[in-house]
Amino acid sequence: MQVAIVGNGIAGTTTARFVGERVPDAKITIYSREPYAYYSRPRLIDFIAGEAPLEGMPQYDAAWYEKRHIETCLSCEVASIDTAGKTLTLSSGQQHSYDVLVLATGANAFVPPIAGVEKKGVGTLRTLQDAVTLCQAAQCCDRIVVLGGGLLGLDTAISFIHFGTAVTVVEAQPWLLPRQLDREGAAVLQHMVESRGVRVITDDLCLQVLGEEQVEGIRLKSGLELPACQLVISAGVRANIALAKQAGLACNRGILVNERMETSAPQVYAVGDCAEFNGNVWGIIPVALAQARVAASQIAGEVTTLYTDLVPSTTLQVGGIELTSIGEVNPVGEGFQEYRYADDAHAVYKKVVVRDGIVVGAIMFGDRSDLPAITRLVSQKIDVTAVASRLVSSDFNVGDWLKSATA
């Protein structure tokens, strides 16, 4: 069986790995338009922070791929697919046939249409090449502005500090990590981020990038002007669906898939940041891994393995800040109870959101000792009615209670 995988991010590589381990006669080829073998995108932060050398970025050596009969075709962009003829064409014009195709084309950084955004010195962080370019820029730039105070924006801002450059984060929403935190939790986070030397501006919008050809600063809606020689835009991602659209596959925000990760064309699967299931395109690693496992199982003939949407969980772990946010943390509507615990002196903030006796969201900031137990409560929908108000107390051990409750 000839299995072609487009994209060598975590979704494509994990699919290849599981197919290679389960289907001994599969001949697997991964096509990647990037010149590098698989590397972890979260490690790009370590790379910028000077904690991971370039040569240490690829995760697996040649023997790893060989053992799983995986061939990689690097700097190979797939330009088009013919799903009827089961062939794909590279930008070089070369054609290859396949029996099964997996689209793992990921996502691209979104760049909002801000006036002047095309100037030199405006960048995004998605690929290793982006990280290399940003590091080169940071070495000769004394003021960097990061647009976007989400997880990636904050990670990126903190990773620049060691260059000795002044770093400012601008977030359009009233507080940092608006998708993962509430106002109270964000206040604790902002204090920690600022204490690491990053200036934070919230509730303000970048309207214009200043400068002639090279960025010299930005102008905000409030009228404030911030000088900058490098601007990093961290305004979310968009699923990379261009290839799928060209091939006539059904797409919305992502490539539409069912619980088998099948697209609208036979023998074509989609996984990871490019796939849309049930109206969701999560853009996070746990989802990419789960979807890759399902696609590989289907390809291996284990057709009862199906994908069910996960409760999204994201973690910020940079510069001594440890924060995990799960599920619904800013509930809108009725029927939710919110329980909080704050210890400002130790920069601890915990919150759980409960609906009908079930934990549907949680913030664990500064003290994540209960995280595994809380994660289980959310994913297994365990009734916490009897202890809901105590779940975040410093003298209550969620793990111990869970053990006795489920014994």
Ligand X SMILES: Cc1cc2nc3c(=O)[nH]c(=O)nc-3n(C[C@H](O)[C@H](O)[C@H](O)COP(=O)(O)OP(=O)(O)OC[C@H]3O[C@@H](n4cnc5c(N)ncnc54)[C@H](O)[C@@H]3O)c2cc1C
**Interacting residue with ligand X among 17, 69, 86, 126 (CB under 6 A):** 126
Look up residue 257 and give its DSSP letter.
Answer: -
Neighbours of 169 (CB within 10 A): 27
Residue with tokens 């699923």: 239
Shortest distance, CB of residue 404 to ligand X, whole angstroms? Answer: 32
Rounded least distance, CB 314 to ligand X, Å: 6
Residue 4 in contact with ligand X, rule: CB under 6 A: no
Between residues 107 and 147, which has the closer beta carbon with respect to ligand X? 107
**Residue 77 in the binding site for ligand X (CB under 6 A):** yes
| Shortest distance in whole angstroms from residue 7 CB to ligand X | 3
Q: Calculate the CA 395 to chain-centre distance.
A: 34
Contact pattern from residue 36 through residue 55 relative to ligand X, giving x for each residue in contact according to CB under 6 A and a dash for the rest = -----xx-xx----------
Q: Using CB under 6 A, which residues numbered 312 to 341 contact ligand X?
A: 315
* Burial readout 309-327 (b: 16 or more C-beta within 10 A, e: otherwise): ebbbbbbbebbebbbbbbb
SS3 350: strand
Beta carbons of 6 and 88 less than 8 angstroms apart: yes
Residues numbered 157-176 forming contacts with ligand X, rule: CB under 6 A: none
Six-digit token pair at 370?
Answer: 């209960």
CA atoms within 13 A on the CB side of 193: 32
127 — phi, psi (to 5°)?
-115, 170
Residue 42 vs 58, nearer CB to ligand X: 42
Which listed range, 174-182, 200-208, 277-285, 397-405, lies at the site for ligand X (CB under 6 A)? 277-285
What are the Cα distances from residue 117, in Å, to 124, 215, 277, 309? 11, 9, 32, 36
By beta-carbon proximity to ligand X, the closer residue of 36 and 396 is 36
The helix or strand, by DSSP H or E, that contains position 337, with its residue range, turns out to be strand 336-343
Asked whether position 10 contacts ligand X by CB under 6 A, the answer is: yes
One residue of 3, 6, 170, 354 binding ligand X per CB under 6 A: 6
Stretch that binds ligand X, among 32-40, 62-70, 177-185, 245-253 (CB under 6 A): 32-40
Q: How far is the CB of 220 from ligand X (least distance, A)?
A: 25
Question: Quick one: 88 or 141, whose CB is closer to ligand X?
Answer: 88
Of 215 and 247, the one with the shorter C-beta distance to ligand X is 247
